[in-house]
Structure 1
Amino acid sequence: MGLFDALEKKLSGVTPDDIWNNISEPDHLTMILEESVGRPQLIYKHSHLCSVCFMSRGNLEKAAEDILNVADMHFLNVVRNRPASDHIEKELEVRHESPQVIIIDNKQVAWHASHGSIETDVILEELEGIA
């Protein structure tokens, strides 16, 4: 995210805390799965050691208003919360990568992508197909 993007967010009053629900414990997945029955859930797996992750996160945050119209957004720092990341990988049967987006609908993985395949227009299309 560039300086002007950060300034725009500061001026608009929208912060990452307004966008993301943080995943810090393995049992948070249970809540996310339950919430997916009524509304799609997006999990974003991020590593603060990876520059690609910062680009993906910035793009998701730019599209957050549109995404939040149809889904809740959850953020997982995979370095700081490895047990939660491992639990998600095991329970959802989606091999861990970062950056990674997983969309859950009705307690099932509806779609996932990683690295360069994380494109906000594709994510929005997938979410609109679910809603």
Structure 2
Amino acid sequence: MIDWKKLDDKDMLKAIAEDHSDKTFVIFKHSTSCSISAMALNRLERSWNGDEMDKVDAYYLDLLSYRDISNAIADKFGVDHESPQVLVIKNGQCIYNNSHMGINYQSLKEQV
């Protein structure tokens, strides 16, 4: 089970971008009205292994409620907006991103 933190404030995004510890952040951008997004989220949650990902902070962004934060993510990390989309952030940089059916646990795990 993923221990999601709700990304609902630009200050949270700023803290993620400015973190230069060994911490890894995963941001999942989810459209609550999209069936593909729901399927990608479900696949990720079913595969997630908390023991393997214990050093990862996972953030969930509801795109419909917080589009401004999604836009800020695109600007800050230089990644075109897509939905659904997953980003891996380390040392203030986006080191990996994928969208739609390209979102999978194994690829995320390889980045950690």
Residue 35 of structure 1 contacts residue 41 of structure 1 at CA under 8 Å; is this kept in 2? no
How far is 1:109 from its partner? 0.8
What is the TM-score normalised by the length of structure 2? 0.88
- The structure showing larger relative contact order (alpha-carbon pairs under 8 Å, at least 6 residues apart) is 2
Q: Could you say which residue in structure 2 is the equivalent of 1:89?
A: 74
The change in CA–CA distance for 1:105 and 1:121 in structure 2 (over 3 A counts) is: same
Unaligned runs of 5+ in 2: none
Match of 2:26 in 1: 42
| Cα RMSD (Å) | 1.7
Q: Where does 1:1-131 land on structure 2 (aligned, <5 Å)?
A: 19-35=3-19, 37-62=21-46, 63-66=48-51, 68-127=53-112
Q: 4+ residue stretches of structure 1 with deviation over 3 A?
A: none
Q: Could you say which structure has the higher helix fraction?
A: 1
Q: Which has the larger radius of gyration?
A: 1
TM-score between the two structures when normalised by the length of structure 1: 0.77
Unaligned runs of 5+ in 1: 1-13
Q: Is the partner of 1:122 in helix, strand or coil?
A: helix
